[in-house]
A and B are shown apart, each in its own frame.
Chain A
Amino acid sequence: MLKKIFLYTALLLIAYTVVLRFLPSDIDTDQSQWGTNVIKARDYILSEEDFKNVIVGTSLSTRLVTDSLGDDFVNLSFSGSTIWDGIELIEAREQKPKRVFIESTFVFKKTDGSLTDYVSKGFSSKLKSTLPVFREKNQPVGVIKGLVTKALKSGGPLASYDSVAVEINPEILEIQSDYFVEEYTDENYEWIFTKKLIWPLERLLDQGIEVVFYEMPLHPSFCESEVIKDVRWHIDELTKREGVSFLKVNNCEAYQTNDGIHLVSHSGLKFTNKLKSQL
């Protein structure tokens, strides 16, 4: 019985490896927020493509329509995560980009570095880099979903979730406001702007990589919060000192969010176009 179980399992793995070779490469196999992050991060680490421009951000920047920026752009923004994950991924990959765009809005969010470790260290990541059958991107349930979605899309575009809902729930706005009402101490600012952000920034600049900081639009009440204004001032000082660009947002009311911080799809496209015009 046990021999049969292990033999059949090996056969299933071989058969699935063959099936994967015949699958269309453009199917979307994402299943969840964590899965999406891992697939994106692993793709970046393992890809042989020459990405000239890398966007590094939080979930806010996932609303950018990266395709419209050009083929040589890759968006390393992760939902539920921070800019530090994207920066760590750039450091973990041998091939470096020419330009890195760093979102400056949520610099105080912390990371445990688990995403980069997960996709670049340990036995599991080595196995996944060697054998594609074990990668999150190729999980059978995700693949089935990707094939079904592709078949449905061929019959016309599907309605986007947030193209309908634009009224923000006050309780959700309240939760999001936590970040903007927290009082960060001078030590917090000093740690971020003289150490935490400086180390990777100087490493990137030393390698001849151009760095651009940018802000993402927020709900107007958050845009004018003390935290955002203080961070903007510090980034301004930093970018002047280091001689790098900083793209600010001064018209938040022109954009719409679905929860106070994440742009709805049409605003995401609008802001991407604005960003593109400034490059």
Chain B
Amino acid sequence: MQISGAQMVIEALIAEEVEVVFGYPGGAIMNVYDEIYKQRSFQHILTRHEQAAVHAAEGYAKATGKVGVAMITSGPGFTNGVTGLADAYMDSIPLVLISGQVPMSLIGTDAFQEIDAVGISRPCTKHNYLVTDAADLPRILKEAFYIARTGRPGPVHVDIPKDVTAQIAKFDYSKEVELETYKPTTKGNTRQIKKAIDAIAASKRPLLYLGGGIINANAAELVREFSKMTQIPAVETFMARGTLRYDDPLLISMLGMHGSYAANMAMSETDLVIGLGARFDDRVTGKLSEFAKNAQIIHVDIDPASISKLVNAHFPIVGDVKNVLEQMIPLAQEQIDPKRYESWHNTIANFNKLHPLSYKEEGDRLKPQWVVERIGQLLGDGANISTDVGQHQMWTAQFYPFTRPRQWVSSGGLGTMGFGFPAALGVKRADMERVSINITGDGSILMNIQELMTAVEYKLPVINVILNNNFLGMVRQWQTLFYDKRHSSTDLSMQPDFVKLAEAFGGVGYRVNTKEEFDAALKDAVEKNVVAIIDVVVNRFENVLPMVPAGGSLFNMMLEYKEK
């Protein structure tokens, strides 16, 4: 079949069973957009900013487990998308970004809307390509999807010069892809697994340390089976929320900088860490030399470079966590006595009793944590939850009653403000049955507010709940705690009328001061089924607690803050 490069892009997307592309057109990508116009196989959603297109594709990918696809033009179109690439790279999200480039003959001449796109995307993608011949395009697109979704998933960027999209060549899209230099290990080493099981059976205070790799590998069911069978307690990283149900008696809570006291104490007291798809991030470990000091470490990860990068693993197991668990479960059934850890359970129960995750209701203002809990009570499993970045994000991770994997979509590694709303659009597109909530802050929401238009046009009724404290709250919190209350450039008292703003785009808006108003607003927004902003006035000076100050030890938490 002899077709143009632009047609090849369409054919490849169809062959990959892509159902939606998030994008924004421009000069260099016009040939491809012309072919998008002519086809009916997939939907194209026009976001109102390229960054939002990539975040929406991320949200879609996180909610479905499929490869998200975004399409943008050269130059500023591309550079706007880079934040999304970096975000997807840090959080291992499978993504293919297709960008236009100036024609081959103009590359290197500082042409209009020219930028060295692959030069920029190299450090923030799993792999990238500049296509120089349409004959290479089918192979490159096939490889791009394959690389994005296999091994440790990640974003792949394909940059296509305009003349290449016009060039006619043979389209031969192979079913299989074989890369000589890329063969991810998926099965765990049997001997290492046996040793790890022996270590678990011999341990007295083992702890499952669950990471986002479990969600990527679709291994949450197996984790639930493994923990139930062995009765080993678990802590989750921020990225792993939803692996275990919130009410699972074995789930302690999230660990790390804003983890619970019990989770961090369990990590400090355990004699065997069983790390599954987690990467010992600095926000999790605190001071490395004090992290899980009394423990041996089992580390299961698909990425060999993540093992012993920061914390030395005594039992390194490279492999897909799902496959490794399948190998572990029969051995665990034989060897591990679930009654063995009872006194360890008591220790943890005491930690929980001593300092449970909590907040105090006081004064007239709503507490932000109450809002998060209330959304959970009213919608629970019926909602998918996205967030932006800051205090609201941590409160959501702490207090939302997560019941399943892929319910939780948030920017963990890069910490991208402006991620939440477009990501929630992608989540809604992936799961129209459930309510898509973006819990956000009065700072973050303005970073991609233009997506109200996308939400209205494509009938993607995301409900944005602003925990509005008139502050860039997390930075304000650090300024209060570590900068002697010098609130430099964090006061956001100057604000738009969010209700009118939502209405101006054709959505609905609510300003909420009380619990009753909140319940009514959420109920109404769900019923109206259009994009909404619920602007909730919350206590201005609430802090995210407990907290391990940056560089501190997990067992040395700030549990409360008293005004001096």
Partners in one complex: no
B interface residues (Cβ-Cβ under 8 A, vs A): none
A interface residues (Cβ-Cβ under 8 A, vs B): none
